[in-house]
Amino acid sequence: MSEQPHLSNWSCPLPLRDYPGIVLGHGGGGKLSSELVEHLFLPAFKNEALANLGDASVVSVPPGRLAISTDSFVVQPLFFPGGCIGDLAVNGTVNDLAVGGARPLYLTVGFILEEGFPLSSLAMIVDRMAAAAGNAGVQVVTGDTKVVERGHGDGCYINTSGIGVVPHGVDVGPAKASPDDVVLVSGTIGDHGMAVMSVREGLQFETLIESDTASLHDLIEQMMAAGGSAVHAMRDPTRGGVASSLNEIAKSSGVGIVLDEKALPVRPDVQAACDILGMDPIYVANEGKVLAFVSPDAASQVLEAMRKHPLGMNASIIGRAVNHHAGIVAARTAIGASRVIPMQIGEQLPRIC
Amino acid sequence: MKYLNEYRDGELAQKLAREIRQVVTQPWKIMEVCGGQTHSIIRNGIDQLLPKDLEMIHGPGCPVCVTPLETIDKALAIAAHPNVVFCSFGDMLRVPGSHSDLFRVKAEGGDVRIVYSPLDAVNLARQNPSKEVVFFGVGFETTAPANAMAVYLARQQGLKNFSALISHVLVPPAIEAIMDSPSNSVQAFLAAGHVCSVMGYWQYPALARKYGVPIVVTGFEPLDILEGIRRAILQLEAGEAEVANAYERVVTREGNQAAQKLLEQMFEETDRSWRGIGLIPKSGWRLREAYREFDAEHRFQVTAIRTVESSLCRSGEVLRGALKPNQCPAFGKECTPRRPLGATMVSSEGACAAYYNYGRFISLDQVAHV
């Protein structure tokens, strides 16, 4: 099992006398299952809808269109500098809703646990999920736990689905970017991917790179307040990094995108780690950043609003949507030449030399 | 960042490019030997700053590209063994053999792991005495010392469960093969800085004399490459053919002598087939007879595997600068980055893959100022 974070004053809420680890019975629907729900999930996620323990939770939603999203989390290691799988599972789905212009409201959570997985680790993950949900103002309203035999899972997998409401008049989406839109990013890129990689691969860098996992709903709300309908498209550039998200938007919107490489905010330690491994930060995952396409007249207001927010202090203008080379992302390189930033075929791999 | 950003300075790069443009009076073809340099040229768009008359030919120096199909097939056969932990550098996992790749072997149950150093594989062998740990040791002279050291340590530690599939290739014989080819058009070489950091450049004056080509030892950052090109051009325009060192902060004439001594002790020269190019005599290293017990080819009895490369592929001509990728009949049809036939389509920095991705065909004036 992966190393565990140091949480001062943390104590496990479960009665651990008999079972320090997950056993098959915890997913069996019997007494052990309900103990898990009663002692761990209910107190952590406490809310009325969940407390009913019905087969389905009934919730009410304000007027507007519903946004629905689902994501599964299989990160290794489960705990890494700056967060854990629990943070990702909540923030990831909250962010997917938020970049669609929705106010995130409710989450569902499904755990797939491996026999023998320490209950204390599960409790820590749940604790982080509850904190992240509280921070994002969403309620975890229903959940499910299954246990697989030892050797058939990686400790803990989590699926979350989320529901949010898109207020009337809001219409953002990956197909809405138009030529001349200014491309903004809310902060440094590549932090999460390199943080996970440095612990997963046992690479020792001189500094600790931390994941940027965070829920972006509040930052995005501020951006929408500042830019209104001038905010056309947003994306949280997770797997595949900024490059993949921009390629998707270029294709969906039928625009070209031009980046100014010098303007891409990259932490020096992340850049150094990427250089060592022969990787490009533009393809490395983020878990707490948003890309936005904003019409030029509103770009500076939106940028200003981003920079006022703790999660957007390093926000920058990194490029522009253009009328040329539709569907293709190009960059002006640091030495004043150009290059195309294609979609990667698979995962970025460390190079031999 | 110290010692890196200094070599990525846009203004200095423009200044060097201007100097090059001022000096060039006629068409020249310069080959950068190393895949790392090709990567940097494409990644930074360095060639766009050069005069139209100066053509950069992307040489055969990408270890991922030139590792023979046969070696990949041997790796796949070994990695599929039930008791084997097969360790490789990351970017070899995607390289297709005849019918599969290491990713697929992994998906089908093979224990294939990415490591960052061959010494990681030695440690794995020590920690897992009941497993056979195999390291896939490919690459040029650059990666050879660490691979040699892994085998050396395995013997020293008495590890019976470690072996290496070694398929090293060497730069100087490749330069000779390129120059000896009747259709050669290369007029100067940028020698690979990392290779020279190990081997020095004492082998090159003889080549420069024999073929009348300037050879400039060159680094990998934009300014390094532009400076290498500038020095090569100055020589070409002056009708000189010398060996110069434009990577002095890393490379000495003698190179890393401790590494060379170890290499001499562990490896012997062998003929080697290069993917897409064919057999080049004495262009590779293999483990010496005395270390045969650590040779995975023998341990797993895959020496008999023979693979014939596609006759459709003309990447050898592309690598010599005799053919443009899109002039090849298989380009984009039988041969794509997902199903590559030859070296230059395998790696994203190969010339054919770069053409395929259209990467290089957005002109600078289309890339608006942001």
Domain locations along chain B: 1-325, 326-360
Sheet with B162-169, strands from edge to edge, namely B111-114, B84-88, B132-139, B162-169, B278-287, B267-274
- Pairwise CB contact (< 8 Å): A339 & B42: yes
Largest interatomic CA distance in chain A: 66
Report DSSP state, residue B58.
Answer: E
pLDDT at A156 over 90: yes
Q: Of A231, A86, A110, which Cα lies nearest the Cα of A159?
A: A110
pLDDT at B20 over 60: yes
Instruction: Report how far residue B76's alpha carbon sits from residue B328's, in angstroms, rounded to the nearest whole number.
Output: 29
CA A57 centroid distance within chain: 25
Q: Of A257, A241, A175, which Cα lies nearest the Cα of B362?
A: A257
What residue in B sits closest to A184 (Cα-Cα)?
Answer: B370
Nearest to B116 among A271, A333, A350 (CB): A350
pLDDT at B359 over 60: no
Summarize pLDDT for A328-351 with one digit per residue, the tens: 999 999 998 888 898 877 777 777
In chain A the domains, ranked by start, together with CATH numbers, are 24-166 (3.30.1330.10), 182-340 (3.90.650.10)
Tokens of A324: 């040329």
- How high is the pLDDT of residue B2? 62
Instruction: Report how far residue B247's alpha carbon sits from residue B170's, in angstroms, rounded to the nearest whole number.
Output: 20
What residue in A sits closest to B370 (Cα-Cα)?
Answer: A319
Distance from CA of A1 to the nearest CA of B (A): 17
* Helix residue spans in A203-258 (DSSP H): 217-227, 241-253
Q: What does DSSP say about strands B28-34 and B188-192: parallel, antiparallel, or unpaired?
A: parallel
What residue in A sits closest to B356 (Cα-Cα)?
Answer: A342
- How high is the pLDDT of residue B347? 74
Tokens of B356: 């395929």
pLDDT at B364 over 60: no
What residue in B sits closest to A331 (Cα-Cα)?
Answer: B367
Summarize pLDDT for A13-65 with one digit per residue, the tens: 665 546 788 988 888 888 888 888 888 999 999 888 888 888 889 999 999 99
User: Is the complex ipTM higher than 0.85?
Assistant: no
pLDDT band at A3 (very low <50, low <70, confident <90, very high): very low
Report DSSP state, residue B325.
Answer: G
CA A171 centroid distance within chain: 22
Average pLDDT, chain B: 90
Averaged pLDDT, B118-136: 96
Query: What is the 3-state composition of chain B as percent helix, strand, coil, each rounded to the nearest 5?
Result: 45, 20, 35
Nearest to B139 among A203, A322, A353 (CB): A353
Largest interatomic CA distance in chain B: 65
Average pLDDT, chain A: 91
pLDDT band at A2 (very low <50, low <70, confident <90, very high): very low
Token look-up 């170890």 returns: B262
Distance from CA of A353 to the nearest CA of B (A): 7
Tokens of A273: 């780690």
- Phi and psi at A74, nearest 5°, equal -130, 25
pLDDT at A80 over 50: yes
- Pairwise CB contact (< 8 Å): A350 & B89: yes
pTM of the complete model: 0.88
Which residues of chain A lie closer than 8 angstroms to B116, CB-CB? 201, 203, 277, 350
Beta strands in chain B (DSSP E): 28-34, 54-61, 84-88, 111-114, 132-139, 162-169, 188-192, 215-218, 243-245, 267-274, 278-287
Report DSSP state, residue B350.
Answer: S
- Pairwise CB contact (< 8 Å): A337 & B44: yes
Q: Of B171, B194, B138, B181, which Cα lies nearest the Cα of B347?
A: B138
CATH class of the region B1-325: alpha beta
